[in-house]
Amino acid sequence: MEEKAGRLTGKTAIITGAASGIGQATAELFAMEGGQLVLADVNEAELKSLVMQLENQGTGVIGIKTDVSDEKQVSDLVSACIEEYGRIDIVCNNAGITGDLSKVNLEEQETDNWIKVYGVNVLGAVYMVKHACQPMMKQKAGSIVNTSSVAGIRSGAGPNAYSASKAALVNFTQTSACDLGSYNIRVNAVCPGLIETGMTKPVFDYARQAGKEEKLGNRAELKRYGLPKEVANAILFFAGDESSFITGQVLPVDGGNTASLNMPGMKF
Ligand code: NAP
């Protein structure tokens, strides 16, 4: 019997922050859809274990320890992808950090924390696009998907450095979509709401220990938090050919959180 082609059969994708949460779910989904993968993360042990899992399922995959805030490491990652597969069809700029959560007031915050958060969340994506767009321009094809956040389009969903960095990523999605559109390179972003991942584990642990699990995600109109796979589904849509006429767009994947002003007292 002829094997059914997946949505990403014949395509090569780089995914950053692939060892956990949304990145891991994206890698697993892309593998199911027939993509060949270059997975990057700072967490080498978890990265290796995911690569082994996907290899055992028959996926063409390599894992490369990469800190996306280091331009040389990003440029090496892109070169490794070209060396292994000869092309780059998809880049998922997914690696991200919240930074220091302990200081709410700006006047108390360390400038170094802002620099670190911007280094990963903004410059990480900038370096990836800068280096990956070069082979994509030669191919005259490519799809880039950035993982921003609801924090990048509204206040109140994360620390201010994190929120500002995710807003910058929304705007970088739009400017790079305009810069690269004539090369048939599309750039889009997803904005997850509250998703259960490594990043949000402390929030989930706290709520569960305090017996407040029902509060998790209750600000979303769907009255629940999301799963990494639900974000991965949106990333797959932007990454593959089903979104072939969509670029420069930003899609909240948030259970309706950003659809509302979310003022409980005003709900009739
Ligand atoms: P996660 O489970 O913590 O996964 C992120 C992965 O990225 C981790 O393996 C992390 O390694 C890695 N990473 C951190 N810094 C890196 C760097 N400099 N270079 C390469 N990899 C790095 O978090 P997640 O929730 O899946 O986050 C994925 C993306 O979704 C992030 O951009 C995040 O801002 C965004 N997001 C998440 C939520 C949510 O509710 N979870 C909501 C909105 C947006 P370590 O664990 O070792 O740091």
How confident is the model over 115-160, as pLDDT tens digits? 999 999 999 999 999 999 999 999 999 999 999 999 999 998 999 9
Local structure of 256: helix, strand or coil = coil
Whether ligand 1 lies within 6 angstroms of the CB of 67 is answered as yes
pLDDT of residue 261: 80
Whether ligand 1 lies within 6 angstroms of the CB of 120 is answered as yes
User: Strand 185-192 and strand 142-147: pairing?
Assistant: parallel
How confident is the model over 100-118, as pLDDT tens digits? 999 999 999 999 999 999 9
Local structure of 154: helix, strand or coil = coil
263 C-alpha to ligand 1 centroid (Å) = 29
Domain spans of the chain, in order of start: 12-195+227-256
Pick the atom of ligand 1 nearest to 47's CA: 9
Beta bridge partners of 146: 93, 189
Encode burial over 47-76: b for 16+ CB neighbours within 10 A, e otherwise: beebbeebeeeebebbbbebbbbbeebbbe
pLDDT of residue 254: 98
How confident is the model over 199-248, as pLDDT tens digits? 999 999 999 999 999 999 999 999 999 999 999 999 999 999 999 999 99
Q: For 39, phi and psi rounded to 5 degrees?
A: -105, 135
* Beta-sheet strands, E only, within the chain: 12-16, 36-41, 61-65, 90-93, 142-147, 185-192, 250-253
Cα gap 28→21, rounded to integer Å: 11
Rg of the Cα atoms in the chain? 18
Cα gap 51→165, rounded to integer Å: 29
Chain centroid, CA 265 distance in Å: 34
- The sign of the dihedral angle between the CA atoms of 51, 53, 56, 58 is negative
Whether ligand 1 lies within 6 angstroms of the CB of 51 is answered as no
94 C-alpha to ligand 1 centroid (Å) = 7
- State the helix-helix crossing angle for 71-85 and 124-139, rounded to 10 degrees: 30
Residue with tokens 């191919």: 139
Q: What is the pTM of this model?
A: 0.97
Beta bridge partners of 218: none
Residue 3: pLDDT band (50, 70, 90) is low
Sequential DSSP letters for 9-75: TT-EEEEESTTSHHHHHHHHHHHHTT-EEEEEES-HHHHHHHHHHHHHTT--EEEEE--TT-HHHHH
The encoded tokens of residue 19 equal 């060892």
Residue 267: pLDDT band (50, 70, 90) is low
Report how far apart, in Å, the C-alpha atoms of 257 and of each of 1, 197, 250 are. Answer: 45, 18, 15
Cα gap 26→21, rounded to integer Å: 9
Superfamily (CATH) of domain 12-195+227-256: NAD(P)-binding Rossmann-like Domain (3.40.50.720)
Mutation pick for ligand 1 pocket among 197, 227, 250 (CB with most ligand atoms within 8 Å):
197
Q: For this structure, is 162 an active site residue? A: yes
How confident is the model over 57-69, as pLDDT tens digits? 999 999 999 999 9
Asked if residue 98 lies in contact with residue 152, where contact means CB atoms within 8 angstroms, the answer is: no
